[in-house]
Amino acid sequence: MANAVALPLHSHMDVTAARICVTGGAGFLGKHVVEEFRRNGARDVFVPRKAEFDLTTPEGVERMFREARPTLVVHLAGVVGGIGANRDNPGRFFYENAMMGIHVVEHARRNAVEKLVVAGTICSYPKDTGVPFREEALWHGYPEETNAPYGIAKRALLVQCQAYRRQYGLNAVYLLPVNLYGPGDNFDPDSSHVIPALIAKCIEARESGARRIVVWGDGTPTREFLYVADAARAVVLCAQRYDGPEPINVGSGKEISIRDLAQLIANLCRFDGEIAWDTTKPNGQPWRCLDVARARELFGFEAEVELLDGLRRTIDFYESPGRRADEVLPLDAAAGGKD
């Protein structure tokens, strides 16, 4: 197939006139991104479902582009999970994330889309990156071992985006979102991330009368968290305002230790029992905190929801009468930070 014609870059994209395709748009982050686009006046938003479009195959991606005819593609779809899920599924997480991204970027080129926004992951950073994580440190080493296959698969998509920009003029931009949380998160103990896992453990222990919960690791690692609605706002702002080749961190710029986080969640959940640490289980990356200056300077994003407020909203969601007790997001529904 002949190369696509080089595309001009835009200083501002009018999402009200765009035909938008959001992969992973039915997932945790994706639902909020779709809502945020609509709040900004978008009228044509296409959300492909896995049952109809297998994005790990070129045929599925080709059909998605044919039906959606997008001018703007936001690639959020990913196979995700916490430390345990990453440890148990390294091959699947590498293959499916790499294949989905590679096919989406390639077909964006073939279809000459005006803009492509790709969500990477904080897991792509090297294990011993100095705090705060600056985007130029992305290539200074290998990711933390338990989620390296996922992180490397996502990191490869940055290379593809930059290569396609140079050779084909594809306006592909790449975001590095930190660990996300909020209402609608996945609370399944086998695949959830740390905040929903701790909320579920504390509330279930409180309700059952258990006096002890067990948490993986020793509690010393630090993490940065971003409320999901803030993350969605960042994605839409990026789609509207940023056209550069460099990756952009998306986060709050604030860190907390897992030990302090666990105690904070226990207090908010009214669980006053013991928090025991299982040091036979992995800690994951030793620390995470982002330099978020680029996002602020290049497309005007700053986090608005403080962790305490966001945790209260997430706990309220978990305890709400209308939430199905067995509600679980599939592993392939969303993108974002892992543990």
**H helices present in the chain, as ranges:** 28-39, 58-68, 83-88, 90-110, 148-168, 194-208, 228-241, 258-268, 293-299, 307-319
What architecture (CATH level 2) is domain 19-180+225-250?
3-Layer(aba) Sandwich (3.40)
Q: What is the residue extent of each domain of the chain? A: 19-180+225-250, 182-224+254-288+306-319
Phi, psi of 203 (to 5 degrees): -70, -40
Predicted pLDDT of residue 277:
97
Active site residue 150: yes
pTM to 2 decimal places: 0.90
Q: Give the C-alpha separation, 31 to 147, whole Å.
A: 25
- What does the pLDDT look like over 55-72, one tens digit per residue? 999 999 999 999 999 999
**Residue 278 to residue 266: CA distance in whole angstroms:** 17
The token pair at 221 is 């690692």
Catalytic residue among 125, 142, 150, 242: 150
Domain spanning 182-224+254-288+306-319: CATH 3.90.25.10: yes
Q: Roughly what angle, to the nearest 10 degrees, separates helices 307-319 and 194-208?
A: 50
Cα angle 169-47-180, degrees, rounded to a multiple of 5 = 85
What is the reported pLDDT for 34? Answer: 98
For residue 337, what pLDDT is reported? 36
Could you say which residues of the chain have pLDDT below 50? Answer: 1-10, 324-338
Q: Residue 83: its pLDDT value, please?
A: 77
Q: Say what the pLDDT of residue 336 is.
A: 36
